[in-house]
Amino acid sequence: MSDEELEEIRRRKMAQLQAEAQQRAAVQEQHEKIEAQKTALLRTILTPEARTRLNSIKMVKPQFAEGIELQLIQLAQSGQLSRMGISIPITDEHLKMILSRAQGKKRDMKIQRI
C-alpha cells in the first residue's frame, strides 16, 4: 500500500468516526429534550410530595418508576384521572393508591420446616 492509499483510508475512517459521533450527540440531545419535557409535565401533574416519592422509587426501581411516570402522563393527557376521581395535581395519597394498583399483589412467601 502506498502512503496515499493509507492516507485515504485514514480520512475515510476519520469521517466515519465523526459522523458516528454527530449521530450519538443528536440522539443524546433528543433524549435530553424528551426528559426535560417529561419532567416539566410531571411538575404540573404531581405535588412536590408526590414527586419526592416518585423520585425515591426511581432510585430503587428505575424501570418501575419510568413506567409509572409514563402512565401518569398518559392518564393526565387523556383525562382519565378525572374519571378515576383524582384531580391534578396528584397528591401523595393518590400516588400511593396508583402505585399500589400498579404493583399488584405481592405473593406471600412462607418458609416451612421439613
**Cα(58)–Cα(43) distance, rounded to whole angstroms?**
15
76-91: per-residue pLDDT in tens?
A: 889 888 777 788 889 9
Total residues belonging to the chain: 114
DSSP helix/strand/coil, 46: strand
Residue with cell 409514563: 70
Tell me what pLDDT residue 101 has.
85
**Cα(58)–Cα(52) distance, rounded to whole angstroms?**
10
14-34: per-residue pLDDT in tens?
A: 999 999 999 999 999 999 999
Domain 3-103 falls under CATH 3.40.50.300: no
Residue 37 Cα distances to 10, 15, 43, 69, angstroms: 41, 33, 10, 12
Tell me what pLDDT residue 48 has.
95
User: With 80 as the cut, is the pLDDT of residue 45 above it?
Assistant: yes
Q: Is 0.85 topped by the overall pTM?
A: no
Q: Using 50, 70 and 90 to split pLDDT, how confident is the model at 1?
A: confident
CB 76 within 8 A of CB 107: no
